[in-house]
Amino acid sequence: MKAEKYSSKDLDHLGIIATMCDDIDLAGIIDRLIPPDLRAELRTGECVKLMVINGLGFSLRPLYLEAQF
């Protein structure tokens, strides 16, 4: 019998919030309610999700300074 290897990952609270936003399809709901802007690079729902995650992150950095976004 082969031994299984386990690993853990630290999601912090922002990972949990991002997963919950995906589970309830927050971005999808918003995108269905707001017509898309053809000039935009990101969908409105994605932007709202990013604002929620950033707002709960207790970060003083604006989103445009966050390279990951």
Greater model confidence, 68 or 38: 38
Look at residue 23 and tell me whether its pLDDT is greater than 80.
yes
| Residue among 14, 4, 28 nearest 66 (CA) | 14
**Category of 22 on φ-ψ map: left (φ > 0), alpha (ψ -120 to 50) or beta:** alpha
CB–CB of 8/16 below 8 Å? no
Cα separations (Å) of 9 from 6, 45, 57? Answer: 10, 27, 18
- Its pTM stands at 0.66
The beta strands (E) that lie in 1-69 are given as none
pLDDT at 10: 66
Per-residue pLDDT reduced to its tens digit, 50-59? 888 878 875 6
